[in-house]
């Protein structure tokens, strides 16, 4: 299979956590988690959106940018295209614009006459649903993509909207007179631009904000971005995790202490931290000796405790993934984005805010995804994971 890497246009975004610091970040993550726990309709991953005729068979990639607390990418809408800075979100599926830069209709724009309303954990948007040409890269152009155009948007300062790459079923009930809205990945596949309905995500840990250090690969994986074998695991059937990119996993601190027995949760780019059900979080805090920092709300440890910090081990589909001590801490070079102290060590594991057995007992956010290449495979109803050159890195 051929592979084409599309370079994104460089840009800078505001740090979403800069104003309210880590406490705002925690509030956003936990509010998002509560929305997940409340449950959406299950996604069926109906591969038949159909039987596709010819395909160019290429998998194509675009660059993404780490803004310290979220990931964003440039997306062109219309012809000629206007570029918008959109958050990449695997937990929601509508793509929409207009939170900051206004929509500029062109000859390819079509107002469907329908309305769109989407509620997020830490924000919301409402407006009109259009179809338009969407450009993710020179070889990733989508015709008649459904996009929301916000008339009101709350909680999205510094970005223009969302690039939703979650399961399409999550769009049900968001657009009037519409059963569901195919995602950009669905349409790239349906239009024969990519050969499989999947999305590969590569992130690299960074101690600097606003740098292009990630890659989205539509229709396959970029084998240059991971090491060893790409292992796959079926999506969970446990609700409400099954409505999202849900898997089953267990978590151990060190090699002998299980802090979370095998249970369902999700992998989510829109969550910043590693969130664990309350009992698992408390066990982790006790095992590490960490204390909650009153300024940031995050767990913090001393240098001496960091020297003794053990790896977390995630067992997913019979494969063990090590999350090193360095992976467990916030990048010290970005402490200012938390409102934290220079040189202090903050842990990225935090309390999900619900008890074990809720049907969604963890969220592996982008602090986790930075260490593992991830394939969101809609067509085969599975998630793929692989180590990378950064799995064991000491960048934080």
> Helix or strand or coil: residue 344?
coil
Q: Say which of 63, 89, 169, 186 is annotated catalytic.
A: 89
Q: State the Cα–Cα distance between residues 148 and 214, nearest whole angstrom.
A: 26
- Per-residue burial over 337-346, b if 16 or more Cβ lie within 10 Å, else e, is bbbbeeebbb
Query: Which residue, chain included where needed, has tokens 């993934």?
Result: 321
- With a CB cutoff of 8 Å and minimum separation 6, the contacts of 149 are 96, 97, 98, 103, 116, 127, 128, 129, 130
What H or E segment, with its residue span, contains residue 30?
helix 21-38
Pick from 245, 199, 77: nearest CA to 148: 77
Choose the catalytic residue: 268, 293, 361, 377: 268
Query: How far, rounded to the nearest angstrom, does the alpha carbon of residue 174 sit from its chain's CA centroid?
Result: 20
Q: How far is CA 130 from CA 49, 99, 293, in A?
A: 20, 15, 46
Separation of CA 83 from chain center: 21
360: Cα separation from own chain's centroid? 16
**Partners of residue 346 on adjacent β-strands:** 300
In the residue annotation, 100 being an active-site residue is answered as no
CA atoms within 13 Å, Cβ hemisphere of 189: 23
Give, for 13, the enclosing helix (H) or strand (E): none
Give burial (CB, 10 Å; 0-12/13-18/19+) of 257.
Answer: middle
Catalytic residues: 89, 268
């Amino acid at each position: 299979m051929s592979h084409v890497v599309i370079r994104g246009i460089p840009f800078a975004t505001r740090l979403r956590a800069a104003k309210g610091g880590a406490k705002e970040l925690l509030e956003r993550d936990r509010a998002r988690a509560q929305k997940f726990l409340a449950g959406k309709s299950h996604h069926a991953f109906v591969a038949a959106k159909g039987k596709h005729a010819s395909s160019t068979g290429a998998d194509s990639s675009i660059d993404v940018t780490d803004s310290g607390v979220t990931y964003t990418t440039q997306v062109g809408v219309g012809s000629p295209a206007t570029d918008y800075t959109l958050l990449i979100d695997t937990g929601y599926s509508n793509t929409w614009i207009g939170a900051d830069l206004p929509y500029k209709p062109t000859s390819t724009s079509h107002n469907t006459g329908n309305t769109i309303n989407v509620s997020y954990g830490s924000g919301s948007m409402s407006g009109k649903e259009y179809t338009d040409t969407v450009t993710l890269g020179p070889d990733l152009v989508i015709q008649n993509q459904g996009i929301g155009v916000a008339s009101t948007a709350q909680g999205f300062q510094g970005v223009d909207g969302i690039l939703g790459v979650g399961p399409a079923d999550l769009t049900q009930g968001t657009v009037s007179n519409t059963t569901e809205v195919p995602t950009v990945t669905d349409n790239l596949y349906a239009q024969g631009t990519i050969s499989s309905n999947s999305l590969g995500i590569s992130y690299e840990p960074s101690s600097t904000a606003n740098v292009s250090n990630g890659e989205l690969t539509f229709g396959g994986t970029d084998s240059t971005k991971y090491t060893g074998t790409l292992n796959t695991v079926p999506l969970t059937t446990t609700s409400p995790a099954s409505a999202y990119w849900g898997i089953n996993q267990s978590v151990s601190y060190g090699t002998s202490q299980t802090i979370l027995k095998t249970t369902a949760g999700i992998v989510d780019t829109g969550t910043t931290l590693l969130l664990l059900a309350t009992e698992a979080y408390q066990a982790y805090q006790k095992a590490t000796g960490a204390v909650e920092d009153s300024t940031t709300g995050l767990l913090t440890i001393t240098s001496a405790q960091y020297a003794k910090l053990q790896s977390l081990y995630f067992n997913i589909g019979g494969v063990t993934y090590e999350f090193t001590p360095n992976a467990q801490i916030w990048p010290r070079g970005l402490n200012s984005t938390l409102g934290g102290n220079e040189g202090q060590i903050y842990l990225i594991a935090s309390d999900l805010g619900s008890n074990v057995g809720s049907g969604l007992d963890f969220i592996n956010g982008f602090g986790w995804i930075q260490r593992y290449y991830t394939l969101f495979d809609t067509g085969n109803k599975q998630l793929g994971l692989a180590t990378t050159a950064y799995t064991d890195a000491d960048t934080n």
